[in-house]
Structure 1
Amino acid sequence: MKKILYIPGLACLLAISSCSDYLEEENISSATAENFYVTQTGYEALINSTYSTLRDLYAPTPYIFCAGTDLFFGAHQDAPLALTSYQSLTPGTPQVNDFFQTLYQSIQVCNTALHYAELTEEFQYLDSRRGEARFLRAYYYFLLVQSFGDVSLVTDMVDEPITHFERTPAAEVYQFIIDELSQAVNEVPATQSDYGRVTKAAVEHMLAKVYLTRGYEAYGQASDFDNAAAHADAAIGGQGLTVSFDKVFGYRNEVNDDVLFAVQYDQASLLNGGAHNWDTPWGPLIQGTGEGVAKKNLLHPTEYLFTIFGEYDSRFEGTFLNVRTYPYVGYYLNPKKSEVRNYYPRTAAQIADTAAWRAADLENRKDADIVPISSYWWEGNNQDAYPSLSKFDRIQNSDTRFTHDIYIARLGETYLIAAEAYLKSGNASLAADRINEVRRRAAMPGHEGDMMISAADVTLDFILDERARELAGEGHRWFDLKRTGTLMSRTKMYNPEIKSIYESGADPFQGNNGEYKILRPIPLNAISLDSEEYPQNPAYAN
Structure 2
Amino acid sequence: MKKIKYIALGVLATLLSGCGNDWLDLQSSTAIETEGSLTELRDFEFVLNGAYSSMQSSNYYGADMVCYGDLTGDDMKSYKSSSTNVSYYTFKYNKTNGPSGFWGMYYGVAKNLNILLRDIEKIELVPDREIMTPKQEKLTEQVYHDDLKGEALAIRALLLFDVTRLYGYPYLKDNGASLAAPIIDKVVEDKNFKPSRNTTAQCYKAITDDLIEAVKLLRPVKKEGKINKWAAMTLLSRVYLYMGNNGEAYNVATEAIKGAEKQGYKLWTNDEYAKIWATPFNSELLFEIVNLTTDSPGKSSIGYLCTKYNLIATEKYWKKYMKEKSDDVRSQMVSTASSSKPFCLKYPAQGDKSYEDANIPIFRLSELYLNAAEAAVKKDDITNTRKYLKPIYARTGENLDDLSDDAITLDLVLEQRRIEFWGEGQRFFDLIRNNKKVERTDYLSEVPEEARSFDWNYYKIVLPVPNHEMEYNENMVQNPEYELH
TM-score class normalised by the smaller sequence = 0.7 to 0.9
Residue 44 of structure 2 corresponds to which residue in structure 1?
43
Q: Structure 1 length normalisation: TM-score?
A: 0.71
The DSSP-based 3-state class of the residue aligned with 2:438 is helix
The DSSP-based 3-state class of the residue aligned with 1:434 is helix
**Which of 438, 445, 465 is 1:522 aligned to?**
465
Rounded Cα–Cα distance in structure 1 between residues aligned with 2:90 and 2:44: 44
**Which of 401, 415, 424 is 1:474 aligned to?**
424
TM-superposed deviation, 1:53: 2.1
Deviations 1:135-170 (A, max 9, x none): 000011111111111211111122331342111111
Residue 361 of structure 2 corresponds to which residue in structure 1?
407
Contact kept in structure 2, 1:308 and 1:465, CA below 8 Å: no
Residue 206 of structure 1 corresponds to which residue in structure 2?
235
When structure 1 is superposed on structure 2, of 139-148 and 234-243 the one drifting more is 234-243
Pairwise mapping of residues 486-497 of structure 1 onto structure 2 (< 5 A)? 486=436, 489-492=437-440, 494-497=441-444
Based on CA coordinates, which of the two structures has the bigger radius of gyration? 1
TM-superposed deviation, 1:497: 4.0
TM-superposed deviation, 1:253: 1.0
Rounded Cα–Cα distance in structure 1 between residues aligned with 2:205 and 2:405: 32
| Shift in CA distance, 432/19, structure 1 to aligned 2, threshold 3 Å | closer
Contact kept in structure 1, 2:167 and 2:181, CA below 8 Å: yes
Rounded Cα–Cα distance in structure 2 between residues aligned with 1:256 and 1:413: 15
The DSSP-based 3-state class of the residue aligned with 2:291 is coil
Residue 296 of structure 2 corresponds to which residue in structure 1?
274
TM-superposed deviation, 1:59: 2.4
Rounded Cα–Cα distance in structure 2 between residues aligned with 1:516 and 1:509: 13
**Which of 153, 157, 166 is 1:147 aligned to?**
166
Pairwise mapping of residues 60-71 of structure 1 onto structure 2 (< 5 A)? 60-61=63-64, 62-71=66-75
Deviations 1:328-368 (A, max 9, x none): xxxxxxxxxxxxxxxx3xxxxxxxxxxxxxxxxxxxxxxxx
Rounded Cα–Cα distance in structure 2 between residues aligned with 1:141 and 1:401: 31
| Shift in CA distance, 195/74, structure 1 to aligned 2, threshold 3 Å | closer
| Shift in CA distance, 466/43, structure 1 to aligned 2, threshold 3 Å | same
Residue 388 of structure 1 corresponds to which residue in structure 2?
343
Q: Structure 2 length normalisation: TM-score?
A: 0.79
Rounded Cα–Cα distance in structure 2 between residues aligned with 1:13 and 1:275: 25
TM-superposed deviation, 1:452: 5.2
Contact kept in structure 1, 2:106 and 2:159, CA below 8 Å: yes
Question: Identity percentage over the alignment?
Answer: 23
| Shift in CA distance, 495/411, structure 1 to aligned 2, threshold 3 Å | farther
1:320 equivalent to 2:334? Answer: yes
5+ long unaligned stretches in structure 2: 19-27, 126-140, 169-179
TM-superposed deviation, 1:209: 0.4
1:437 equivalent to 2:391? Answer: yes
- The amino acid of 2:159's aligned partner reads Y
Contact kept in structure 1, 2:17 and 2:295, CA below 8 Å: no
- The amino acid of 2:181's aligned partner reads V
Residue 173 of structure 2 corresponds to which residue in structure 1?
none
1:116 equivalent to 2:119? Answer: yes
Deviations 1:402-435 (A, max 9, x none): 6221111101111111111111122133222211
TM-superposed deviation, 1:64: 2.0
Residue 304 of structure 1 corresponds to which residue in structure 2?
316
| Shift in CA distance, 308/103, structure 1 to aligned 2, threshold 3 Å | farther
Rounded Cα–Cα distance in structure 1 between residues aligned with 2:93 and 2:215: 37
Rounded Cα–Cα distance in structure 1 between residues aligned with 2:271 and 2:93: 36
Give the root-mean-square deviation of aligned CA atoms: 3.2
The DSSP-based 3-state class of the residue aligned with 2:384 is helix
Residue 417 of structure 1 corresponds to which residue in structure 2?
371
Pairwise mapping of residues 447-462 of structure 1 onto structure 2 (< 5 A)? 448-449=398-399, 453-462=403-412
- The amino acid of 1:237's aligned partner reads K
1:98 equivalent to 2:119? Answer: no
| Shift in CA distance, 501/19, structure 1 to aligned 2, threshold 3 Å | closer
